[in-house]
Structure 1
Amino acid sequence: MGWNRRQLLRSGLGVGAVLLVAACSETGSSNGSARQGGTLRVGALGTAARIERDPHANLSNDSDFLITSLVYDALTVPAADPNVAGRLASRWESDAERRRWTFTIADGATFHDGTPVTSADVVWSLRRLRTVGGASKMPAAAEDITADGPNRVVIALPAPNTQLPLLVRLMTFTVKKDTTDFTDAIGTGPFRLESYQGGNARLVRNERWHGTPPLLDAIEITMFDSVTALGNAVLGGQIDLASNVGAIAGRTAEGRGDLQVVRRPDDTMVGVAMRTSDGPFADARVREAIRLGVDRKALVNQVHSGYGTVADDVLGTADPAYDRGLPQRARDTDRAKTLLREAAFDTGKSYPFLTKAEAPGEVESAKVIATQLADIGVRLEVLTQESNTFYDQTWLKAPLYTVSWGTNDSTLFLAEKVMTSASNRNETGFKDAEFDAATAKALAATNDSEYAQACRTVQRIQYDRGGYLVWGMADGIDIASALVHDLPVLGGFARVQLERAWLA
C-alpha cells in the first residue's frame, strides 16, 4: 500500500473529527437560538513554500487542509460514537467476509456548478488518490475500485477489513472526473471558493449542499506561519478563531470574557517507543519498570500545561471501544527497581533517548521522563534530532525514542498499522502471535460482540507486554471569540469542520 508516516497522520484516520452535526457534540448550544449570517474569520498554520491546492496531494499546511475540507466532501468523516459518520456517502455495507464494501452517494449531492455527483466521479477520484503525492492512500488496487450503477461505488479489498469506512475518512475528497486543474476548486462541500490568494481564501455558503445548510454567509481563512503570530491575532481581535493554537495561548486567553478556549480531548499522543525485539528494553519486565517509573500527572502538567489527561499505555484513547476496565498505572518506584533487578538491567550505563521537535512538548517530554527515570536508576541521555534525520536514522530502528500521533480514536487502526508483525511501520519491533491473531479477528469480525472481544484482547496484550509508554493525551486548543458557537470539540482534524458554526 505504501503509506509513509506523515500521510498516515494527515489522513485523518484518526486521525479523531467532527463533520456532521448529528455525529458529535459541539461548543455552544443551538437550542433554537442559532442565527444565520455573518463571516467567520479563521486563522490556521501554514507556510507559503508548502501551499497545495490539489485535494489529493499531501496537504501539510493546516490552512490548506481547512480550505479543502470545507470545499470538498470525503465519503465518510470521523464522529464520536460510532467513530465514523457519512458525508458524501449516505450509507455503506460489506459482504459477509468484510472484503467487498459498497458506498452509496448521498441523495441530491451536486458539485458547486450544479452538476450531479456520479459514481464515475467518485471512482476517478479514489483511483487518483492512490497515486498523487507519491504513495498510495487507498487500501485497494485501482482496478478494485469500481462503479455499481450511477450512485454506488464498490471497493474490493485483498483481505478482510472491518475498518474500511474509517480508512476513507477525511481523505477521499471527490472531484469531477478528469479534473487536474483545481484553481476554481469545484467541489461538493458546504462552502464554495470565492477568492484565493497566497494561501488565504474566502469561502461562501453553498446553497446547494446536500447536507444541512451552513448558517454562516462566509468563512475567511488567513494563513499564519507561526503559532505565536496565530495566537497574537486572536488575542488582538484580528480573527475570530485560532485553530490548533496550543496551550500557551490557551492560558493567556483563559479568564477573558471576550474569548473562549475550546479544549478538544485526545487530540495528540506524545509517548515513547521501546524496542521489544532486541536491545536493552526487549525484556517485558524492563518495559514495565519504565512505565511504573514515570509520574504521568506531572508529565501532563509540565508538558501540556495541564491541558490534557493521563493515559494508560494503549494507543487510541478516544475509541468508543477503548477498554476502560484496564487498571490505571500509577508511579511505583520500588516495584520498578525490583523489576529492573529481576531483569538484570544494567543501571551502570547511560542509554540514548532520541527525540525531535515535531509535536508540541515532545522534546520537553523526553527531558522530564529522563529526570523522572533517574529515580529508579535508569540514566537516559536526551538527544534531539532534526526531523528528517530522525525518520531516516532513528524511527523503526532505535531502542528508545519519542513518538507522536494525531489520530487517536481507533485502537484497531493503530494496532494494525504500527504493532502487527507484518507491518512495515512497526515502531517498537513488536512480534506477538496472539496479538496478530486478535487483530486479524477484529478486522474480520462479522458481529459487534466478536469485534468488541477481539479489540479488548488487542488492548490487553498491548497493555501487558507492548512496547509503548503512553503516559498522557494532549488536548487540542482552539481560541475563539465568545460570539462563535457550535465549534467542533473532538480531537484530531475535527477542528477543520466548521459548517455548523454560527455567530451570535
Structure 2
Amino acid sequence: MGVTRRQLLWAGTGIGVAGFLAACSSGSGSGDSKSTAPEGGAAEQPRPGGTLRVGALGKAAAVTRDPHGNQANESDYLIISLVFDTLAVPGDTSNTLPRLAASWKASEDLKTWRFTLAEGATFHDGTPVTTEDVVWSLQRLRNTPAGSARLPGIRPESIKAEDAKTVVLESDYPNAELPLLTRLTTFILKKDTPDSALATAPGTGPFKLDWYRDGNARLVRNDNWYGGKVLLDAIEVKIFESPQALSNALLAGQIDLASNVGAVAARTAETRKDVQVLRRPNDMAMPIVMRTADGPFADVRVREALRLVADRDAMVKQVLSGYGTVANDILGTGDPAFAKDIPQRKRDLDKAKKLLAEAGFDTSKTYDLVTTEDIAGLAESATLFATQAREAGVKINVVKQDSKVFWDSTWQKGALYTTYWGTNDSVVFFASKTMLSDAGQNESGWKNTAFDEAYRTAMATGDAGERAKLLHKLQEIEHAESGYLLWGMADGIDLAGKAVRGLPTLPGYGRVQLEKTWLAR
C-alpha cells in the first residue's frame, strides 16, 4: 500500500487554491477553524481545564508511532497530529494557514520558496526548533516509499537550511501552490531521531504525550506552545474497532467525542437532545476507478458510458443515507476554484448503451469490481453500482478483498475498483498526486498530455485569477476523460456530548485541530 493513502484518508488535507501565497503574513495557523457546537448563549466564554475523552477508529494490530509512516488508524493519526506540528494547516478563510512555518515567500520564477519558522517554537523537552530539524524531517519524509507523492517536484537534496530561521524548498518546476503541500505529513521531529525512539520523541504540538498503550493514549496540555493558549488540561484517546462500538460509547457517556463515526450513528443520535451531531460537507470521496492505460476501460467512450450508468441521487440516498451530496466526476469538490458551472452529468442509459456499442465493449463478459470494507458505505456503493450497471447490459461482479490484499495487489493496478479520499478541498491536490502522467499515486494509469500541460501552466501562473481559469480547463479535461467515476461526496460525521465546545468543522486534518476545544461543564 502507498504509505500516504491511509494518512490522506484520515488527514484529509491537500493542496487548495485560495489565491497566490507568494507572501503569507505570520500567524498561529489555528485561528480560523469554525465550530458548529452550540455556544450556550452569547455570554458563554471559553473556559480552561478539563479532560476531553475522544473515541477514534483503529485496530490494535495496526498501530504505528512513526509520524512519517503509515497511520492506518485514525486514533494514531489523531495522537500524532496533536503531538507534532506540520509547517502549515488548513483554514476556512484560506486553504493554507501558518503553523510551524510563520510565513513563506516565493522567488519570482515560483520555483524557490523560503519558509520562516515561528518565533518561540520549541520541542516538548524545551529545546528550540531549528532549521536543521526541519530539513532533516522533510528529507526523511521525502525518502519514504511514497515520498515523491508526498512532496511532488521536490527532491531531498532540494530541501536546505538557508540560515537559523529560514528553510528553502526548491521545486523542479514553477509551483504557485507549493506551500499547500506542507499541510500534510510534514511533522517535524528532532534531527537524527532514531526509529527506535519515535514512540517517545518530543514534538512541538499543543499537547504532550503522557502515556500510550495499544492505540490508547493520554495527552496533556503544552503550556509552552508557541501557537497560543491551549484550553483543555488533557485529551484521552480511546481506540474502537467499529463505528457502532464508537457511537455506543458516546451515547452511553463513556466518551465526549466520537470522531468520524458515520451516517448510521448520526441517524440514531439525531433524536438525542444530549448529543451534538456535527456534519462536515465534502469530507469523503469514494470514487470508482477505471483503468485507462489498458484493459476493457481504456476506451474513453466506455468510461463515459459507465459514468452515465450511475444513478447518483439513488447512491447518495441509499449508500450515504442522505448524508452527502451528488458529485460530478471531478475530485476536489470543496475547492474555492471547483468548476461548479460544468454541467452535472446525469443518468442516461440510452446514451450509455450507444457508447458501449460504438466502442465494441463486450457485454457478454462479467467484469470484477474490487472493493474493501475499510470504511462504511464503500462496499455498499460497489454493490449498488453493479445493480445499476446491469440496466445498461454491463455485468459486474463485486469482489470484496481484505484490506492488506487490496492495497498491495489491486490499488493502482486493478481494472475496476473503489478507492476513497478524505482530501477534497483542492483540485490541484488530485492533479498533482493522482492524475498527472508521472503522478506518484496515479490510480487509473491515466496519461493525458493536455492535462499535464494545463497543470504545469497553472502552477507557473502567479496571478490567482488567471490560474483559476487554467484550473477550470484542467477540470474540463478531468470531467471528460479521466479514470474516475465520482458519484457523490459523503459528509463527515462527528458526535459530541452536550458540554463540548469549539470543535473544528473543517474536513480532514482540520478536524483534528483541538487546541481551541473546551468543555462547558
TM over 0.5: yes
Alignment counterpart, residue 284 of structure 2, candidates 261, 268, 273: 268
Whether 2:111 is the aligned partner of 1:99: answer yes
For 1:6 and 1:503, how far apart are their aligned partners in 2?
Answer: 33
Matched, 1:465 2:481: yes
> Are 2:167 and 1:153 equivalent residues in the alignment?
yes
> 2:55 touches 2:237 (CA, 8 Å); kept in 1?
yes
Aligned to 1:178: 192
Q: Quick check: 1:270–1:359 contact (8 Å CA) kept in 2?
A: no
1:24-43 superposed matches below 5 A = 24-28=33-37, 33=44, 34-43=46-55
Label 1:222 to 1:162 Cα distance change in 2 as closer, same or farther (>3 A). Answer: same
Residue 14 in 1 paired to residue 13 in 2?
A: yes
Query: Partner of 2:423 in structure 1?
Result: 407
Q: Tell me, yes or no, if structure 1 residue 128 matches structure 2 residue 128.
A: no
What corresponds to 1:315 in structure 2? 331
Query: Which deviates the most, 218-227 or 434-443?
Result: 218-227
Tell me, in whole angstroms, the C-alpha distance in 2 between the residues paired with 1:282 and 1:12.
32
1:296 is aligned, of 295, 312, 329, to: 312
Secondary structure at the aligned position of 1:214 is classed as: coil
Shift of residue 392 of structure 1?
A: 4.1
Equivalent residues of 2:349, 2:391 under 8 A apart = yes
**Residue pair 1:93, 1:103 contacting (<8 A) in 2 also:** yes
User: 294-303 vs 199-208, which deviates more?
Assistant: 199-208
Is residue 488 of structure 1 aligned with residue 504 of structure 2? yes
Tell me whether 310-319 or 118-127 shows the greater mean CA deviation: 118-127
Number of equivalences: 502
Distance in 2, matches of 1:445 and 1:170, equals 23
Instruction: Give the whole-Å Cα distance in 2 for the aligned partners of 1:155 and 1:133.
Output: 20
Shift of 1:270: 0.8
**What is residue 397 of structure 1 aligned with on the other side?**
413
Cα deviation for residue 460 of structure 1 reads 0.5
Listed one character per residue, the Cα deviations across residues 328-357 of structure 1 (whole Å, up to 9, x for unaligned) are: 122222333333344343333332222222
Q: TM-score, normalised by structure 1?
A: 0.92
Moved more, 214-223 or 420-429: 420-429
Q: How many angstroms does 1:369 deviate by?
A: 0.5
3-state SS, counterpart of residue 23 of structure 1 = coil
Which residue of 166, 173, 178 corresponds with 1:164? 178
2:92 equivalent in structure 1? 80
For residue 219 of structure 2, what is the aligned residue in structure 1? 203
Partner residue, 1:370: 386
> 2:466 aligned to 444, 447, 450, which one?
450
Shift of 1:113: 3.4
Does 1:426 pair with 2:438?
Answer: no
Q: Please give the alpha-carbon distance, in whole angstroms, between the structure 2 residues aligned to 1:159 and 1:458.
A: 18
- Asked if residue 252 in structure 1 is aligned to residue 268 in structure 2, the reply is yes
Matched residue SS, 2:286: strand
Structure 1 stretches lacking a partner, 5+ long? none
Give the alignment of 1:210-249 within 5 angstroms.
Answer: 210-249=226-265
341 and 144 in structure 1: CA distance in 2 versus 1, 3 angstrom threshold: closer
Q: Determine the structure 2 residue equivalent to 1:439.
A: 455
Shift in alpha-carbon separation, 1:182–1:144, aligned structure 2, 3 A: same
Q: Following TM superposition, by how much is the alpha carbon of 1:73 offset from its aligned partner in structure 2, in angstroms?
A: 1.1
Give the 3 Å change call, closer, same or farther, for CA 141–435 of structure 1 in structure 2. Answer: closer
SS at match of 2:225: coil
- Code of the residue aligned with 1:471 in structure 2: it is W
2:23 is matched with none
Letter paired with 2:32: A
Say which of 158, 162, 177 aligns to 1:144.
158
Distance 1:396 1:81, change over 3 A: same
* Inter-partner Cα distance in structure 2 for 1:441 and 1:89: 27
Q: Which amino acid aligns with 1:157?
A: S
* Inter-partner Cα distance in structure 2 for 1:454 and 1:317: 17
Q: Kindly, what percent of the aligned residue pairs are identical?
A: 52
Task: Report the equivalent of 1:67.
Answer: 79
